[in-house]
Amino acid sequence: MTNPTADQAPAARQSKLKTLLLVLWTYRGFILGSVKREFQARYRNSMLGAFWVVLNPLAMIFVYTVIFTKLMHPSLPNASGPFAYGIYLCAGLLTWGLFTENVSRLQNVFLDNGNLLKKQSFPRVCLPIISLLNAVLNFTVIFSIFIGFLLISGNFPGWVILTLIPVLLIQLLFSTGLGIILGVLNVFFRDIGQLFGIVLQFWFWFTPIVYTITILPTELQPLFKFNPMAALIIAYQGVFVSGAIPNWRSLWPVTLLTVLLCLTAMVLFRKHAGEMVDEL
């Protein structure tokens, strides 16, 4: 005999997902318009305008691929060439930059839009989507320049770069779930944002971005299995530096954690959406 409650649960989840997608589609003009306005506002009063979007990543790529590589001359396993370490650094820094920008935006998204939440009536879920799209837009510009550099320098990994699509999706969902949780908690406990800023500093150095795991003592290397960002960044670095397909087995823990964070974020957001407006 079937359990009606168990049978109804998947249908209820599908209904909620359809409702969410319908809401986002209905308010797509509001979402895309907000993304456009924020992008334009960032460079509205500057002489070079949106050129800064290109200039900043160009400077970063130049520093890390030319100057920093010449100074350090590090050796990387399964990699060769004058730009190997610079590419390794850029792959890690771009990935980390997208993660920190998305989480940082989301942890303050409700505080920064408090007046908008009070004065206008719209689905609250639009704000995290706008924040996510802005972070992705900035990343797309920088990432495109990085790809251009790889093509010009003859270091483009080829078709294997397509294997980064699921890795990028996991990363975006992971940072979004974590960011929404922090954003909701930050409304009620304002120290959350300050505390997480400190956590990010330690997290950065516990992630193999400027160094490789292989240079660490053997007894410390297993600890990186507990760092969800380590598996993601290693996947990016492997593709760009060695042309290696990501180790999908190593991504299972962060994938499961991502699902847990997203579900927790949805429950927390739905439960406290009304209370947040009063708190703000």
Question: Which residues make Cβ contacts (< 8 Å) with residue 76, sequence separation at least 6?
Answer: 84, 85, 88, 212, 241
Domain assignments of the chain as residue spans, ordered by start = 51-279
List the structure tokens of 53: 């979007």
pLDDT higher at 28 or 246: 246
pLDDT higher at 225 or 82: 225
Question: Which residues make Cβ contacts (< 8 Å) with residue 179, sequence separation at least 6?
Answer: 102, 103, 104, 105, 106, 107, 109, 128, 131
User: pLDDT confidence of 232, banded at 50, 70, 90?
Assistant: very high
Per-residue confidence (pLDDT) for residue 22, from 0 to 100:
80
What is the tens place of the pLDDT at every residue in 43-52? 666 655 556 6
Inform me whether the pLDDT recorded for 192 exceeds 90. no
pTM of the predicted structure, to 2 decimals:
0.85
pLDDT higher at 199 or 116: 199
